[in-house]
Amino acid sequence: MLVDELRIRVRAGRGGDGCLSFRRERFVPRGGPDGGPGGRGGSVLLRADPNVGTLLALRRAHEYAAANGQPGRGRNRTGAAGDDLVVPVPVGTVVRDAHTGAVLADLTADGQEAVVACGGRGGRGNKAFATPTHQTPREFEHGEPGEARDLDLELKLIADVGLVGLPNAGKSTLLARLSAARPRIASYPFTTLEPQLGLVAADDYRSFVLADIPGLIAGAHAGAGLGHKFLRHIERTACLAHIVDLAPADGSDPVRNLAVVREELARFSEALSRRPQVVVGNKLDLPGAQEAADRLEQNVQAPLVCVSAATGQGMDALVAALLRMLDACASSRPEA
- Please check whether residues 149 and 243 belong to one and the same domain: no
- Please check whether residues 96 and 186 belong to one and the same domain: no
Model pLDDT, residue 36: 96
- Please check whether residues 178 and 314 belong to one and the same domain: yes
- pTM here is 0.77
Last residue in a domain, options 124, 155, 186: 155
Going by the DSSP 8-state scheme, the letter that residue 55 receives in this structure is S
Domain count, the chain: 2
Q: How many CB atoms lie within 10 A of CB 288?
A: 12
What mean pLDDT is predicted for residues 117-130? Answer: 96
- Please check whether residues 110 and 41 belong to one and the same domain: yes
Query: Is the pLDDT at 195 greater than 90, yes or no?
Result: no
- Give the tens place of pLDDT for each residue, 162-178: 998 888 888 888 998 99
Sheet of 44-48: strands edge to edge?
Answer: 85-89, 44-48, 113-117
- Please check whether residues 9 and 79 belong to one and the same domain: yes
- Domain residues for 294? 161-332
Going by the DSSP 8-state scheme, the letter that residue 330 receives in this structure is H
| CATH number for the domain that contains residue 304 | 3.40.50.300
Three-state DSSP class for residue 238? coil
In this structure, the strands spanning 85-89 and 44-48 are: parallel
- Please check whether residues 93 and 36 belong to one and the same domain: yes
Last residue in a domain, options 155, 171, 192: 155
What mean pLDDT is predicted for residues 115-120? Answer: 97
- Please check whether residues 128 and 265 belong to one and the same domain: no
* Average confidence score pLDDT of the chain: 87
Q: Which long-range contacts (CB under 8 A, 24 or more apart) does 25-32 make?
A: 32/130, 32/135, 32/136
| CATH number for the domain that contains residue 112 | 2.70.210.12
- Please check whether residues 143 and 183 belong to one and the same domain: no
**Closest Cα to residue 298, out of 255, 251, 260?**
255
- Please check whether residues 175 and 316 belong to one and the same domain: yes
Going by the DSSP 8-state scheme, the letter that residue 311 receives in this structure is T
Last residue in a domain, options 155, 187, 222: 155
